[in-house]
Amino acid sequence: NAGVTQTPKFQVLKTGQSMTLQCAQDMNHEYMSWYRQDPGMGLRLIHYSVGAGITDQGEVPNGYNVSRSTTEDFPLRLLSAAPSQTSVYFCASSLAGTHNEQFFGPGTRLTVL
Amino acid sequence: AQTVTQSQPEMSVQEAETVTLSCTYDTSENNYYLFWYKQPPSRQMILVIRQEAYKQQNATENRFSVNFQKAAKSFSLKISDSQLGDTAMYFCAFRYGNKLVFGAGTILRVKS
């Protein structure tokens, strides 16, 4: 199993540009989520999904869109990038249930100039 | 609001010694789980240990153990026989329903 994969690993954008961060998992996990990691703030939940066709907002959803058309994929879209979105982004997945471990992807470092 | 507080931004320990990382949380939830994650310089998030809130017995995984005090909402991580490979950022996290809330992290440096 590849686990959770994310592409790209690094990305530089200009203010106002759009892009999609890709996330895929091959563990048949129902639950998938996106976090951003900023210095001194830990990881904060952006959006999550409990299954195909179902998404919901996390703690910091503004400026980001998601969709979940398949169990495997959960892309994160930045429609108009801003410098405040410079961060490291992590995708995670798990089986349904509060007790289950979330498995994290390797992260994407995004810089918005 | 659910919050997780890690009051130690940085800590250091000599190889083979024991170190304890602190974590407190605030919640009105009854059904939740607590986790410690390790993030080495590679940036990969690795689960160290988990604790079920309704279990009074403290979780243990090899050299890692927790001191879970539910009434005090405290969840500290003890690392015994510290190794150079334990050098990393450690995050305390609290999961309720479909949401996982992280603390700001503690950088642990193990010195030889």
* pLDDT tens by residue, A70-90: 999 999 999 999 999 999 999
- Four-residue CA torsion sign, B71, A98, A44, A5: positive
Backbone angles phi, psi at B85, to 5 degrees: -70, -5
3-state secondary structure of A59: coil
Q: Between β-strands A87-94 and A108-112, what pairing exists: parallel, antiparallel or unpaired? A: antiparallel
Residue of chain B whose alpha carbon sits nearest to that of A46? B99
- pLDDT tens track for A35-72: 999 988 899 999 999 999 999 999 999 999 999 999 99
Q: Do B104 and A43 touch (CB under 8 A)?
A: no
Distance CA A106, CA B45 (A): 8
Q: Do A43 and B91 touch (CB under 8 A)?
A: yes
- Four-residue CA torsion sign, B33, B45, B86, B81: positive
Distance CA B78, CA B54 (A): 20
Q: Do A45 and B52 touch (CB under 8 A)?
A: no
Please compute, for residue A75, the number of CA atoms within 13 A of its CA located in the half-sphere on the CB side.
12
Give the minimum alpha-carbon distance from B25 to chain A in angstroms, rounded to a whole number.
14
Angle (CA) B88 A49 A84, round 5°: 55
Q: Between β-strands A108-112 and B46-52, what pairing exists: parallel, antiparallel or unpaired? A: unpaired
Q: With beta carbons under 8 A apart, name residues in chain B contacting A106.
A: 43-44
3-state secondary structure of A83: helix
User: How does residue B76 score in pLDDT terms, banded at 50, 70 and 90?
Assistant: very high
Q: With beta carbons under 8 A apart, name residues in chain A contacting B43.
A: 88, 106-107
- pLDDT tens track for A6-16: 999 999 999 99
